[in-house]
Structure 1
Amino acid sequence: MAAPQILFRERQRFRQVWLWVVLLAVAAIIWAGFVWQVLLGNSFGSKPASDVQLVVLFLLIGLGFPLFFYRMSMTTVVQTGELQVRFWPFILRPVRIPLHTLRNYEHITYKPIRDYGGWGIRWGMKGKAYNMSGNEGVLLHFYDKESLLIGSQKAGALFEAIRLAKEGSVND
């Protein structure tokens, strides 16, 4: 039996400028405190933390937090009869969605904050969403459960791949 044909693959990362400005600003404050107090021997702030506490903060917030957001990714794959979504590091194994369970699907433009409460793995008034950035995606309507939004920077191509994959699963 041949391996299923991949019709669409997209890997997304957080790319909102405002998010990176906030993350790097917080990291820069921790870096400054680390350098000022631990490396140069001065007190950082009016009630300075111990050097050990500052080293831990430096490792967790100054290095770990930006690295964590940099490495976070969402991978969407469409192949004949199936859609897969993996949101690393929170979903280690792809969520597999058999396309025969879809009642309908539509390419939409949405308001991430208003409709779903932001980006990431979200639950909102309109159902569940997997999204990394932007405001376009494919909304999946199921026969037996609530809707699911898959955010995409290539929502038109994702929609078309789902259409082809769903047709292919019927013809098999």
Structure 2
Amino acid sequence: MKVFTEQQRFNQWWLYVIFALFLIGILLPLKINFEEVKAEGTDRILFLISFLIIFLAAIFIFLMRLNTKIDEKGVGYQFYPFHRNYKILYWKDINAIYVRKYLAISEYGGWGFKSGIFNIRGRGVAYSVKGDKGIQIVLNNGKKILIGTQKENEAKRVINTYKSNIKE
């Protein structure tokens, strides 16, 4: 029995740079006007609220993870913290599955959990963290799901093992 597992996180270097710039943008004016801010309580509260929002947003993004598992049951995925448990797509419910290259921004509007406005073109839902490779799944009911992967070749091998479970 072959099993494919993968865990991805938002850990790109440019995310760290963006958050660092936001924090510098808050801390630098505080440093420059420290005496004034120290005297006025309102400015301190606004600073703390701004800092807290950026800090919590950073923690939230860095806690997110995309877990994928392919085994004899089907394809399981979990985009934590949005999914508490794995969502399982059973082989009997899958019409087609393959690994493909995709354009995150033009096809889905970026990385993360994407649906809604970018689904107008019928591309379906996407769960991606980084890169441009994904496991494309077309369900029997016509719905499409793309799950990003950094392990393209390993995913292909395991998918080919279980493709015979798909009822065409």
TM-score, normalised by the number of residues in structure 2: 0.81
Aligned twin of 1:28: 24
Q: Deviations over 1:3-51 (max 9, x none)?
A: xx670111101233333322221122223345556xx43449xxx9521
User: Are 2:144 and 1:152 aligned?
Assistant: no
Q: Write the distance in 2 (CA, Å) between the matches of 1:86 and 1:34.
A: 40
Match of 1:54 in 2: 47
Letter of the 1:110 counterpart:
Y
Query: Residues 153 and 159 of structure 1: is their aligned pair in 2 closer, same or farther, counting only changes over 3 Å?
Result: same
1:40-51 to 2 correspondences below 5 Å: 40-43=34-37, 50-51=43-44
CA offsets 1:54-112 (integer angstroms, 9 cap, x no match): 11221221x21222221111111112122111111112222111122111112111111
Unaligned stretches of 5+ in structure 1? Answer: none
- The answer to whether residue 75 in structure 2 is matched with residue 75 in structure 1 is no
Give the equivalent residue in structure 1 for 2:127: 130
Structure 2 unaligned segments of length 5 or more: list them.
none
Contact 1:14 1:70 survives alignment (8 Å): yes
Matched position secondary structure for 1:50:
helix
Aligned to 1:162: 159
Give the counterpart letter for 2:18 in structure 1.
Answer: V
Residue type matched to 1:52 in 2? I
Query: Match of 1:159, SS?
Result: helix
> Alpha carbon RMSD of aligned pairs, Å?
2.6
In structure 2, distance between residues paired with 1:143 and 1:83: 14
CA contact (8 A) 1:34 1:55 kept: no
The number of equivalent residue pairs is 160
What is the aligned counterpart of 2:99 among 102, 107, 111? Answer: 107
**CA shift for structure 1 position 132:** 0.5
